[in-house]
Structure 1
């Protein structure tokens, strides 16, 4: 075991004559895990450079990003590799494509596919390598080591298991449909609203809900306005029954005024029978009134998802 360790140390700490290599010495290599219900991060600090980290946001797959203290490598594109381990002869490096090097502290974010292949490579003993060639022929490499990765990855997976189903961009807007012309929420609508509710409970800064009720044009305008109001009220009652205060909800109703699709067939009319739900961050002294019913006076169309 000691002989293998010394052999690895020799390989990983050597600097090719033609390349400037950034990596942490084998004996100092560590992986750190951090996160909450919104994001999980699995990172390896890189001595005198920055860090490489896998970042997984709620509702998404992981990406890999490289951060730097300074402009260590130039701009342009670089090659991303899952480099073969020196103790596994006969295996070549896997080229995962290119990444574009930016100018800020975050040099790049890979695609989700590239990140997934890097994780698979690390679990198989491969090293993520970023290889950059400058215009004058100089080559720079940044290398992460797979040492102690498996244990850290298990901890990271524990963090991932606790992530919310969706992130704020994914959950902030929603169309609740009433396809059967009813005024009640069906099982699908309740499940969608439950995801919103779970996010609000996890993030207290998301503290306000905008509801805009809509109808098709099947009835007269007064009837349609009332139907859109009652559907918006059904959504508000769901939130109230689950701990949201009325003061956190702004409710409007618009009847048939703002269709999503022309009311020319049954399928389109079903799309128009809806409540648009939008989550907002509102300062306490700027909170909107509980109910703001739409009148027949002209006004701007409501925002929809």
Structure 2
């Protein structure tokens, strides 16, 4: 291990001429793990620069991003590398492609594939390196070191295990289907609603639900409106049975008026038998008044 540390200290000597390199001294290296049910972060502070961090949101794979106190390395295209460790002679760097250095606190976000390969590289003793060459031949480089990574990555995995199945962008809107011609929720519909329910309970700022019931055109106009109403009520009852107040739910029903697909075959008609569910963040002063079933019926009779 001591030989590895000494080899790491020789990194500066192997850099190109006129290189400006940012990395933390070996004895000061640390990885930090932070997170909650919505996002996990695994970061290494970089002395006099900022930090490099892996960020994994609920429902997604990790990305890698570089954060900076200033734009000292300049903007433009840079190369992202999983660089070979100095104590492993004969191994070349792995070029993971280009990234575009922007302005602001976050200089770039990698792709999920790039982040996955950086993590694999760190587990194998490689260093994430961002290298940018300017027009005058100056090379700027930001380097993270793999020291203490394995322990921190285990802690990060513990955080990841507690993430919600989806993030807000993924969970905020869903179509709950009724493949048969009835009004009861099937297991697939309940599973979709359960994911939405879990998110609402985890994030109290998501405090309102919009329901819009629909039907196909199989029956007459009044029958179809009643079917769409009962389907929307089935979804409302699911949320109410699981602790959501009726005052947090707005329900409408539209019969056959707004099909997703032309009612020309059985498959399309099944798509149209649905309830659209939307989660919203509504400030207390903006909350819409709950709409009763009778009021909704009156609103759509015209």
* TMscore range, shorter length: over 0.9
| Pairing 1:126–2:126 present | yes
- Structure 1 distance, partners of 2:262, 2:2, is 74
Query: Could you say which residue in structure 1 is the equivalent of 2:226?
Result: 226
Deviation at 1:103, TM superposition (A): 1.2
Return the alpha-carbon distance in structure 2 between the equivalents of residues 115 and 176 of structure 1: 34
Residue aligned with 2:255, SS = coil
Unaligned runs of 5+ in 1: 299-305
Could you state the TM-score of these two structures normalised by the residue count of structure 2? 0.95
Say if 1:168 and 1:4 are closer, same or farther in 2 by CA, change over 3 A: closer
Match of residue 210 from structure 1: 210
SS at match of 1:267: helix
Are 1:23 and 1:143, in contact at CA under 8 Å, matched by a contact in 2? yes
Label 1:206 to 1:57 Cα distance change in 2 as closer, same or farther (>3 A): same
Say which SS state the counterpart of residue 229 (structure 2) adopts. Answer: helix
Q: How do 1:280-295 residues align onto structure 2 when only pairs under 5 Å count?
A: 280-291=280-291, 293=296, 295=299
Tell me the number of residue pairs that the alignment of Structure 1 and Structure 2 aligns.
298
Aligned partners of 1:189 and 1:262: how far apart in 2?
Answer: 22
Distance 1:12 1:149, change over 3 A: farther
Q: 1:296 to 1:243 in 2, by over 3 A?
A: closer
Q: Does 1:113 align with 2:113?
A: yes
Q: How does 1:76-91 map to 2 (within 5 A)?
A: 76-91=76-91
Distance 1:126 1:286 in 2: 52
Structure 1 runs of 4+ aligned residues shifted over 4 Å read 12-16
- 1:18 CA displacement: 2.6
Taking the TM superposition and a 5 Å limit, the aligned residue runs for 1:227-266 are: 227-266=227-266
| 1:33-78, Cα deviation, whole Å (9 max, x unpaired) | 0000000000000011110000000000000000110011111110
1:193 counterpart SS class: helix
Secondary structure class of the residue paired with 1:97: strand
Instruction: Check whether the contact 1:172–1:278 (CA below 8 A) recurs between aligned residues.
Output: yes
1:211-230 deviation line (CA, Å, top 9, x unaligned): 00001111111111111000
Unmatched runs of 5 consecutive residues or more in structure 2: none
Q: Is the 8 A contact 2:16 2:139 kept in 1?
A: no
1:246-272 CA-to-partner distances (Å, cap 9, x unmatched) read: 000000000111111111111111111
Quote how far apart the aligned CAs of 1:7 are.
Answer: 3.3
How has the CA–CA distance of structure 1 residues 178 and 3 changed in structure 2, closer, same or farther, with 3 Å as cutoff?
closer
The CA distance in 2 between the partners of 1:269 and 1:11, in whole Å, is 65
C-alpha distance in structure 2 between counterparts of 1:5 and 1:265, whole Å: 69
| Kept in 2: contact 1:12–1:26 (CA 8 A) | no
User: How do 1:63-102 and structure 2 match up within 5 A?
Assistant: 63-102=63-102
Which residue matches 1:172? 172
Which residue number in structure 2 is paired with residue 30 of structure 1? 30
Contact 1:12 1:25 in 2 (8 A): no
> Does the aligned pair in 2 maintain the 1:20–1:140 contact within 8 Å?
yes
SS in structure 2 of the partner of residue 42 of structure 1: strand
Structure 1 vs Structure 2 CA RMSD: 1.4
What is the CA deviation profile of residues 97-150 of structure 1, one whole-angstrom value per residue up to 9, with x for unaligned ones?
Answer: 000111111110000000000000000000000000111211100000000000
Q: TM-score normalised to the size of structure 1? A: 0.95
Larger deviation: 99-108 or 53-62?
Answer: 99-108
Mapped contact 2:8–2:85 kept (Cα < 8 A): no
Q: 1:37 to 1:12 in 2, by over 3 A?
A: farther
Greater mean alpha carbon deviation, residues 119-128 or residues 9-18: 9-18
